[in-house]
Amino acid sequence: MVHRTMPRRTLETLTFDNSYARLPGAFYAKLNPAPFATPPYLVSFNPAAAELIDLDPEQAKRPEFAGLFSGSMLVPGMEPLAMLYSGHQFGVYVPQLGDGRAILLGEVRNDRGEKWDLHLKGAGLTPFSREGDGRAVLRSTIREYLCSEAMHGLGIPTTRALCLVGSDDKVYREQIETGAMLVRMAPSHVRFGSFEILYYRKQHEQLRVLADYVIAHHFPHLVESLDKYARFFSEVVERTAKLIAQWQAVGWAHGVMNTDNMSIHGITLDYGPFGFIDDYDPGFICNHSDHNGRYAFNQQPYIGLWNLSCLAQALLPLAQKEELKAALDRYASLCEGRYMELMRAKFGLIETKEEDASLIQDFLALMQLHKVDYTNLFRALGRFETGSVTPNELLREFFLDRESFDKWARRYESRLREEGSRDEDRLVRMNRVNPKYVLRNYLAQTAIEKAQQKDFSEIDRLLTLLQNPYSDQPGMDAYAAPPPNWGKHVSVSCSS
């Protein structure tokens, strides 16, 4: 049997729709992107994301490409709009937010039937811009472009990034910077806050319309359920719990876990200030605007629950309080259970034993005490040798107090022997779940500084590297090194 390969799409055959635009006007404001004043140019293109919409990568070489994906031209089927939502920001409800610098261009359905929103960040002023200018800067778009792909490479649900388009337009932040636009892709951009605004405005019929739209388009298996709203919420709880467990296991902090930055799909959304932990610190705060540490690394599981409770409240007009509470009550065990699964895998453990929690927590406590690099130590732990005459000298070098490590190592070796663990097999398994490369802030900063001089090579180099973070890549060991001293203090704020 011969399988016919579908032809790749060109800019002319890339078909758009916008089902969100067919909802009532209360959900959005229709407007076109505001093009750059200066000619746009392509900074970077991501073939892996293009594959999701069957787009031929050769299209990125066309001069029209940068124009199309920087708002200076539209194609049939696009119905650009800015989405309306509200949200709890740092625990305080803000009655109206919305897309203040982003515009939903429309949806593209691939040949597999999957639908992807194409969202243009930095597209200019919208009715929801408040005090902002509607623009994004090269610095912030590079960070999101690289980190969303890095998270995908790590196997963590996330938005994707199709391309990055730059300009010589001047944008004012803490300093004068150049403007840029990012094409972000997701199944949809509906957030917890999309429901909250309708609840707080007492627009309960509109709330039902939105819920029915989301269920029909993104949770179709629930359409015929009598308790479809409660079941929808239950699935959001489960996806969110498992997502945050993945953040915790890989050592990643979001930085701005406001409810307007939480996706109903359980994907990582809105990369403003973020950070992978270098020296392990459970209280790590990646956002220098977060003065009280609300979104510190170790607070993320709790904040996930808090945000879900806000969504539950917004759904009260549609579902029984008891059903919503029952779904919320599952969150802690789902998050903790998934986290322990992931951590056992990081330690190379196959069987589940009651003492695993203390074994893992004691190791993390040692890491914190000795300020050990989180990513590098777990990668090195895969080379732990059972029955070694010299007890794992490579691993001992990570710790100042070698005796404390030796004491823990004896417990770990005993635990491995109990399940008959073989060093060679365990190394292979652990290397599949403990990345060698992550997007450390200093790596992103280096790429940003080069790009500001019109050298975009480091962006593409990092993009390729981070799409395969678990594999040893020849000549790239320097990218796995702990940050230099200056790199441990890269300042990241909400404008980053």
CA–CA separation, 318 and 321 (whole Å): 9
Nearest to 481 by CA among 373, 370, 367, 371: 373
Element (H, E) at 103: strand 102-109
* CB 274 within 8 Å of CB 254: yes
For the record, the structure tokens of 117 come out as: 């929103």
**Residue 449: other Cβ atoms inside 10 A:** 12
Torsion sign across C-alpha atoms 464, 285, 362, 247? negative
CA–CA separation, 298 and 447 (whole Å): 28
CA–CA separation, 6 and 45 (whole Å): 22
Mark whether 260 is an active-site residue. yes
CA–CA separation, 156 and 149 (whole Å): 10
Catalytic site residue from 54, 117, 260, 270:
260
Report phi then psi at 346, rounded to 5: -65, -30
Nearest to 115 by CA among 211, 45, 189, 7: 189
Report phi then psi at 28, rounded to 5: -165, 175
Looking at residue 322, its amino acid is: E
**Residue 417: other Cβ atoms inside 10 A:** 11
Task: Report the DSSP beta bridge partners of residue 182.
Answer: 121, 164
Tallying the residues shown for the chain, one arrives at: 496
Residues with catalytic function: 260
